[in-house]
Structure 1
Amino acid sequence: MARTRSFDRDAVLAAAGNAFRQHGYRDASIAELERATGLVSGSIYNAFGDKAGLFRAALEHYVHGFVRQRVAAFAGADAGLEQLEQLYLSVLEPPLSDGYGCLVNNSIIEFGTAPGIASDGIAETLTLVREGIASVLAREIGSVGAESEAMQLVLLYHGVLTLSRSGTSLEAMRGAVSATFERLHASRAQHNKKQ
């Protein structure tokens, strides 16, 4: 008779995701994953198949439990430029300001977009972020120019996530975000005058 699982799957996946966020997939050893999750290797293999299975599950949990919530909160159907700016500024606050970056962004750097264990989570996140940003911009500054502005903001978003791992001054990044959104607020004012 098989034993039933006696662990909190969400807590394990959050802890594993944090370990992968800190060490990367390749450098996160089974021993490190055991320490992070509180599971022994046998439980990890029984529940997730292998390290790759745990990574896939942790990345999916991160995308659905963290990224989706952030995009909905800061770039959802009712969001304006003020909320969108908070998406950027929140990257410079805990938990993302701890110097380890974002699990998805780190996976983009580690794996690229080649098919593999991270490709679904990467593709889903890139789409969520791009569409969320584009939707806010279309509402706030109009459709003319929104697409190129959206791409600039996607680049800024992933740049901030990457540089948050580099020791780059958080204040300097806040300044860049603020300058970008000052320009967007001016664009919104121009758009509203034309209405």
Structure 2
Amino acid sequence: MARTREFDRDTVLLSAANLFRQRGYRNVSISDLEKSTGLVSGSIYNAFGDKAGLFRAALAHYVDGFVRQRMKVFAGDKARLEELEGLYLSVLEMPLADGHGCLITNSIVEFGREGGVASEGLGEALELVRKGVAGVLERELGAEAAKSETTRLIVLYHGILALSRSSTSFSEMAEMVRAEFSRLRNLRDSAVSA
């Protein structure tokens, strides 16, 4: 009887998520996953079913361990515009500014509306970001203003993450983020003084 190989699930999922983030789902083979995770194909199939199962597990791990945690830090219950601005600026600084973007944004680009293997994880991540951004804006600007500004900031966030894979100047994107949040602080200050 074959012996079950033990492995650190978090380490494997982190390695797989990073590989998928760098190369995309379609451009990663089982052989690539073996090299990246240190698992043999049999262990991958036994633990995750197939490449799609490993991708779904890696995506869920990324959402829980990265996206959810960042939303708590930058858009938690007491976060203000200043903390939310930090979320945007942080993706333009190392180690996040490594040229590979975000697994969520990259998967949105790769799968489009088709979703498929990524549907559940992408939906969860997008909702986490939407709720986090909307929560800060509602506290800082009021419910009415938050409605129009939330979509604007979500588009800005994923636009930055997509463009972080291009030759677009990070300093120019950071300048634009600062200008946008300056505008939002002016809205907040106007509402307070009115």
State the TM-score, normalized to the length of structure 2.
0.96
**Counterpart for residue 28 of structure 1:** 28
Q: Where does structure 1 lack aligned partners over 5 or more consecutive residues?
A: none
Instruction: State whether residues 92 and 164 of structure 2, in contact with CA within 8 Å, keep that contact through their aligned partners in structure 1.
Output: yes
Shift of 1:56: 0.4
**Counterpart for residue 151 of structure 1:** 151
**Counterpart for residue 39 of structure 1:** 39
**Counterpart for residue 112 of structure 1:** 112
**Counterpart for residue 83 of structure 1:** 83
**Counterpart for residue 8 of structure 1:** 8
Instruction: State whether residues 113 and 122 of structure 1, in contact with CA within 8 Å, keep that contact through their aligned partners in structure 2.
Output: no
**Counterpart for residue 171 of structure 1:** 171
Q: 2:107 and 2:181 mapped to 1: Cα distance?
A: 27
Shift of 1:94: 2.7
Instruction: State whether residues 59 and 121 of structure 2, in contact with CA within 8 Å, keep that contact through their aligned partners in structure 1.
Output: yes
Shift of 1:29: 1.5
User: CA deviation digits over 1:119-168, x for unaligned, max 9?
Assistant: 01111111111111011001011122211111100000000000000121
**Counterpart for residue 52 of structure 2:** 52
User: CA deviation digits over 1:2-47, x for unaligned, max 9?
Assistant: 6344110000000000000011000011121111111111111111
User: CA deviation digits over 1:80-118, x for unaligned, max 9?
Assistant: 001000010111123321111000111100112335210
Which stretch shows the higher mean deviation, 27-36 or 14-23? 27-36
Letter in 2 for 1:131: K
Q: Where does structure 2 lack aligned partners over 5 or more consecutive residues?
A: none
**Counterpart for residue 188 of structure 2:** 188
Letter in 1 for 2:87: L
SS in 1 for 2:25: helix
Q: 1:66 and 1:47 mapped to 2: Cα distance?
A: 22
**Counterpart for residue 134 of structure 2:** 134
Work out the percentage of aligned pairs sharing the same amino acid. Answer: 62
Q: 1:21 and 1:28 mapped to 2: Cα distance?
A: 10
Q: 1:152 and 1:105 mapped to 2: Cα distance?
A: 16
State the TM-score, normalized to the length of structure 1.
0.96
Runs of 4+ in structure 1 displaced over 2 angstroms?
1-5
Please tell me the root mean square deviation across aligned C-alpha atoms, in Å: 1.2
Instruction: State whether residues 108 and 115 of structure 2, in contact with CA within 8 Å, keep that contact through their aligned partners in structure 1.
Output: no
Letter in 2 for 1:54: L
Is 2:102 the partner of 1:102?
yes
**Counterpart for residue 124 of structure 1:** 124
Q: 2:37 and 2:168 mapped to 1: Cα distance?
A: 30
Q: 2:117 and 2:165 mapped to 1: Cα distance?
A: 22
Instruction: State whether residues 130 and 154 of structure 2, in contact with CA within 8 Å, keep that contact through their aligned partners in structure 1.
Output: yes
